């Protein structure tokens, strides 16, 4: 990109403002043009400085981040990255913020995330949301459950099949649109969404309330079974394993892969190795190339793969990269993916 991405950091913590400013100044193509300790100051600086991206704390004095976000997205929509603590309350509020139009979430550095890892991921998220398509508030109906695909008797025989899904920027809503449309007897499903630790717990719980399948945050050794979705826990990689006819997941730490942990490629490559032609792969909205190499491995192993189309993506990065590698069999609008997945699984 020819010009630097202008970032405004909004956080009541002077330490966080200082750390974010210092770390982002090291990243090429990103410049922090200002900071604000609360939404009132932020509002003035937005008008004056016209930032491209805002990082927003959600627990602040005078006005909380959610209230500010609602006003911002209504009157002056900008790409917003939510910055939150790893508390249960913080993760739930962060998910609400994502449903209101925020595009990414990142945790504050601490025991789970070093300043170095945080700064790498924050820089990547800023690049991801810069120029992303923003959905008008009037079009977001966050908790309206979409029409589900009817239960299929044919799916009852697919107990040895696997659905593998990967997503990043904009993925929380995209995943919801897919999973809430799947029948309750769908094949065992494994999902990687780029998200910090603990946030995936709240994400899984929210989906479990909306879906006909059971949705849970994955634990090491969990079986992959029909009617259940396993969400990779934030800050951990998730791999598929097989013992005889039983599929299960391995949860582990390790270096960032494609700047991410969990990484879609880690899951997809393990799915290619252990499930192969028994797999249906789905890659959704997100920046970068995470998942493309893994999906190609799945394709070579006999899997059938679907990518979200450009028009319905917040960021057409990951699907585009997968398509360009030749890994994708079908390209579909986000609202059509579940139906296509069911029709494909009925045939295998």
| Catalytically active residues, by annotation | 168, 194, 290
Measured CA to CA, the distance from residue 340 to residue 58 in angstroms comes to: 38
User: Any idea of the CA torsion for 156, 328, 299, 190, to the nearest 10 degrees?
Assistant: -50
Show the DSSP H helices in the chain as ranges. 14-24, 39-49, 65-75, 88-99, 115-129, 171-179, 199-210, 264-274, 292-300, 318-324, 337-347
Peptide bond into 44 cis (omega under 30): no
Alpha-carbon Rg of the chain, whole angstroms? 20
Burial class (CB in 10 A: 0-12, 13-18, 19+), 152: middle
How many CB atoms sit inside 10 A of residue 344's CB?
A: 17
Measured CA to CA, the distance from residue 123 to residue 125 in angstroms comes to: 5
- Contact by Cβ (8 Å): 182, 140: no
Burial class (CB in 10 A: 0-12, 13-18, 19+), 59: middle
Task: Label the pairing between strands 162-167 and 188-193.
Answer: parallel
Sheet holding 279-283, edge to edge: 214-217, 228-231, 188-193, 162-167, 279-283, 304-308, 330-332
DSSP 184: T
CA atoms lying within 13 Å on the CB side of residue 325: 22
DSSP structure string for 31-88: EEEEEESSHHHHHHHHHHH--SEEEEESS-SSS-HHHHHHHHHHHS---EEEEE-SSH
């Amino acid at each position: 990109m020819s010009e630097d991405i202008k970032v405004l950091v909004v956080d009541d913590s002077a330490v966080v403002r200082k750390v974010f400013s210092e770390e982002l100044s090291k990243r090429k193509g990103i410049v922090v043009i200002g900071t604000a300790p609360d939404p009132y100051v932020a509002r003035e600086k937005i008008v004056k400085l016209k930032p491209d991206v805002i990082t927003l704390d959600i627990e602040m004095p005078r006005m909380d981040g959610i209230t500010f976000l609602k006003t911002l997205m209504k009157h002056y929509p900008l790409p917003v990255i939510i910055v939150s603590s790893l508390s249960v309350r913080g993760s739930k509020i962060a998910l609400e913020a994502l449903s209101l139009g925020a595009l990414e979430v990142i945790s504050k550095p601490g025991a789970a995330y070093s300043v170095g890892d945080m700064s790498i991921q924050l820089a990547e998220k800023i690049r991801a949301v810069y120029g992303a398509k923003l959905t008008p508030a009037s079009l977001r109906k966050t908790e309206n459950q979409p029409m589900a695909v009817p239960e299929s008797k044919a799916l009852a025989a697919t107990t040895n099949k696997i659905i593998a899904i990967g997503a990043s920027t904009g993925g929380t809503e995209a995943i919801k649109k897919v999973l809430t449309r799947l029948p309750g007897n769908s094949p065992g499903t494994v999902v990687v969404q780029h998200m910090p630790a603990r946030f995936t717990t709240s994400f899984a719980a929210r989906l479990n309330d909306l879906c006909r399948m059971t949705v849970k945050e994955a634990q090491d050794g969990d079986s992959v079974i029909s009617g259940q979705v396993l969400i990779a826990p934030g800050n951990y990689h998730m791999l598929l394993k097989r013992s005889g006819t039983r599929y299960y997941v391995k949860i582990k730490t390790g270096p960032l892969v494609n700047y991410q942990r969990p990484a879609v490629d880690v899951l997809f490559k393990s799915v290619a190795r252990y499930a192969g032609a028994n797999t249906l792969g789905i890659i959704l909205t997100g920046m970068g190339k995470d998942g493309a190499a893994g999906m190609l491995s799945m394709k070579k192993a006999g899997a059938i793969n679907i990518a979200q189309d450009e028009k319905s993506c917040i960021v057409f990065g990951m699907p585009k990269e997968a398509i360009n590698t030749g890994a994708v069999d079908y390209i579909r609008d986000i609202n059509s993916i579940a139906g296509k997945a069911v029709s494909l699984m009925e045939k295998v």
